[in-house]
């Protein structure tokens, strides 16, 4: 099997890489295990020095790295540069905070002295997606490496240049050989890697189907697993909302990363009291977005990652239309080269339509008017997913109710959902389990060892 970069703007093959052979994979896994035996004993100061050096490389080479991301999966060049900068920020965050996050935690007990010590586990396998080719990896790798673990990356098969780039930066930053390595292997090899006794844990960001597969393999091997899966995030506009600002941010939140983000707002739940004001503004904002070449600074929305991904989102819209939904804007596959799809707004989407039941991984929004806050919360929770949510209200009581009653791993009030190293990132229900980022994320792949000294 070859790993190929196909430019979604042109449909042309940009680069091809050979799959690692079984012997090469064995050598990389064995090297990771050997490296861990010494790397785990390096100091926080040493790891922080290497991590800051890697962040410096991302900053210094930002345009070149961003160009790889845009070429491989189609995000706008400005978004790609922002992703590179965010990775550097995260790396410096953990360089600064890892030692404090993992400091011994003293516990009062009947012992003369008792505390919790956080120790690294070993080689961790990361199975990562294409939509944020750098950020998804770094938000695992920065805390894991700072904790004293080593990483093995099985990246999405359509972003091989990004995968190899990440390994190269860690190597050039001074991390020991084997501290981080990319495995160019197909998805079918993941279960075998998880079963390998030298790999102690696995983390996956991806689809619900991928999460089930990885979770099953990790369960059979009795290994720690963190799953960050899909989302159908509600964007709730209540009676006290700043409607003008909410409408503008709603469009931005929907087309984040060309609409291909697990935390992009997908369902826009608006109470009747402000629906007549919000809905036309939102439709106008979506219709006014410019679709085109992701390297053009005037472009708001680039192509979808692949022809298959565009066909999937188009079929979801067509299904809704046939079953009675109204396409308020967009909804047609454009002519020409590249896998573009216009920002689209659907109204009248009901249970039984694919757009209602499935995650929409493209620039397509559902607008759902509701009577009041009670119905808004009920509709927000009427999904199998539970990743993020965005609530727009200035009334403290409306804010309180949504914070307490919306079923999600994250609630953002008067802001779109983002990931940031200070706060834990993850979901509930079919959006997965475990957390990335913050002090919780770095502890996911640590042994919380209880120590009792009589």
Model confidence over 263-288: pLDDT tens digits?
A: 999 999 999 999 999 999 999 999 99
- Please report where in the chains the tokens 């609409």 appear, as a residue: 259
Tokens standing for residue 188: 């079918």
SS3 3: strand
Q: What is the pLDDT of residue 295?
A: 98
Provide the annotated active-site residues. Answer: 228, 262
| Beta-sheet pairing, 390-392 with 412-413 | parallel
Q: Determine contact, residues 229/211, Cβ cutoff 8 Å.
A: yes
| Distance between CA atoms of residues 270 and 322, nearest Å | 24
| Distance between CA atoms of residues 295 and 75, nearest Å | 9
| Distance between CA atoms of residues 138 and 101, nearest Å | 18
**Angle between the N-to-C axes of helices 44-60 and 77-101, in degrees from 0 to 180, rounded to the nearest 10:** 170
Task: Quickly state the pLDDT bin for 226 (edges 50, 70, 90).
Answer: very high
Q: What's the mean pLDDT in 231-260? A: 97
Reported as type and span, the H/E element at residue 54 is helix 44-60
Q: What is the pLDDT of residue 243?
A: 98
Q: In whole numbers, what is the pLDDT of the chain averaged over residues?
A: 98
| Distance between CA atoms of residues 420 and 424, nearest Å | 8
| Distance between CA atoms of residues 181 and 28, nearest Å | 7
* Burial grade of 41 (CB within 10 A; 0-12, 13-18, 19 or more): exposed
| Distance between CA atoms of residues 173 and 224, nearest Å | 29
Strands (E), 371-427: 385-386, 390-392, 412-413
| Distance between CA atoms of residues 322 and 443, nearest Å | 48
Other CB atoms within a 10 A radius of the CB of residue 243 amount to 21
**Angle between the N-to-C axes of helices 62-73 and 44-60, in degrees from 0 to 180, rounded to the nearest 10:** 70
Helices of type H across 288-323: 307-322
List CB contacts of 6: < 8 A, sequence separation 6 or more. Answer: 12, 13, 14, 158, 306
* Percentage of the residues of the chain whose pLDDT score is greater than 90: 100
Which CATH architecture describes the domain 233-421? 3-Layer(aba) Sandwich (3.40)
| Distance between CA atoms of residues 145 and 441, nearest Å | 12
> Residue ranges per domain, the chain?
2-229+431-453, 233-421
List CB contacts of 233: < 8 A, sequence separation 6 or more. Answer: 263, 264, 265, 266, 267, 385, 387, 388, 389, 390, 408, 417
Q: Determine contact, residues 135/86, Cβ cutoff 8 Å.
A: yes
**Claim: this prediction has a pTM higher than 0.75:** yes
SS3 292: coil
Q: What's the mean pLDDT in 183-189? A: 98
Q: What's the mean pLDDT in 93-112? A: 98
HSE of 259, CA atoms in CB hemisphere, 13 A = 28
Tell me which residue of 224, 239, 311 sits closest to 274, measured CA to CA: 239
Q: Per residue in 389-414, pLDDT tens? A: 999 999 999 999 999 999 999 999 99
Q: Per residue in 130-159, pLDDT tens? A: 999 999 999 999 999 999 999 999 999 999
Superfamily assignment of 2-229+431-453 in CATH? Aldehyde Dehydrogenase; Chain A, domain 1 (3.40.605.10)
Flag whether pLDDT at 1 surpasses 90. Answer: no
Q: Per residue in 4-37, pLDDT tens? A: 999 999 999 999 999 999 999 999 999 999 999 9
Q: What's the mean pLDDT in 338-355? A: 97
Reported as type and span, the H/E element at residue 396 is helix 396-405
Q: What is the DSSP letter of 176?
A: P
Q: Determine contact, residues 190/213, Cβ cutoff 8 Å.
A: yes
Flag whether pLDDT at 335 surpasses 90. Answer: yes
Q: Per residue in 42-95, pLDDT tens? A: 999 999 999 999 999 999 999 999 999 999 999 999 999 999 999 999 999 999
Helices of type H across 61-189: 62-73, 77-101, 135-147, 160-172
Q: What's the mean pLDDT in 228-234? A: 97
* Percentage of the residues of the chain whose pLDDT score is greater than 70: 100
Strands (E), 301-416: 326-329, 344-347, 364-370, 385-386, 390-392, 412-413
């Amino acid at each position: 099997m070859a790993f190929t970069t196909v430019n979604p703007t042109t449909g042309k093959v940009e680069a091809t890489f050979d799959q690692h052979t079984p012997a090469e994979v064995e050598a990389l896994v064995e090297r990771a295990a050997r490296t861990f035996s010494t790397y785990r004993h390096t100091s926080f100061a040493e790891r922080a020095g290497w991590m800051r050096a890697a962040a410096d490389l991302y900053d210094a080479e930002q345009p070149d790295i961003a160009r790889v991301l845009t070429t491989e999966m189609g995000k706008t060049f400005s978004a790609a540069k922002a992703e590179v900068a965010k990775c550097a920020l995260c790396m410096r965050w953990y360089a600064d905070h890892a030692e404090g996050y993992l400091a011994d935690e003293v516990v009062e007990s009947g012992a003369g002295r008792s505390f919790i010590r956080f120790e690294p586990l070993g080689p961790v396998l990361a199975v990562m997606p294409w939509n944020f080719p750098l950020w998804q990896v770094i938000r695992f790798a920065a805390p894991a490496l700072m904790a004293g673990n080593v990483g093995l990356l099985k990246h999405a098969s359509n972003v091989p240049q990004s995968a190899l780039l990440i390994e190269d930066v860690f190597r050039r930053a001074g991390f020991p050989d084997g501290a981080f390595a990319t495995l160019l292997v197909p998805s079918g090899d993941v279960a075998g890697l998880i079963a390998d006794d030298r790999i102690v844990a696995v983390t996956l960001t991806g689809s619900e189907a991928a999460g089930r597969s990885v979770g099953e393999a990790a369960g059979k091997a009795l290994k720690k697993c963190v799953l960050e899966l899909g989302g159908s995030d509600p964007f709730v506009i209540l009676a006290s909302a700043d409607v003008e600002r909410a409408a503008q941010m709603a469009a931005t939140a929907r087309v984040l990363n060309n609409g291909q983000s697990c935390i992009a707002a997908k369902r826009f739940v608006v109470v009747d009291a402000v629906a007549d004001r919000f809905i036309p503004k939102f439709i106008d904002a979506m219709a006014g977005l410019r679709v085109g070449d992701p390297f053009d600074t005037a472009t708001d929305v680039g192509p979808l990652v692949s022809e298959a991904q565009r066909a999937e989102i188009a079929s979801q819209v067509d299904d809704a239309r046939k079953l009675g939904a109204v396409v308020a804007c967009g909804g047609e596959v454009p002519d020409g080269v590249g896998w573009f799809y216009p920002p689209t707004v659907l109204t009248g989407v009901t249970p039984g339509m694919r757009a209602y039941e499935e995650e929409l991984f493209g620039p397509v929004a559902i607008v759902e008017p509701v009577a009041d806050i009670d119905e808004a919360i009920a509709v927000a929770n009427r999904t199998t997913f539970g990743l993020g949510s965005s609530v727009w209200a200035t009334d403290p009581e409306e804010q309180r109710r949504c914070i307490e009653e919306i079923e999600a791993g994250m609630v953002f009030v008067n802001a779109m959902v983002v990931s940031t190293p200070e706060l834990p990132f993850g979901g509930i229900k079919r959006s997965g389990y475990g957390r990335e980022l913050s002090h919780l994320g770095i502890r996911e792949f640590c042994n919380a060892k209880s120590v009792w000294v009589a």
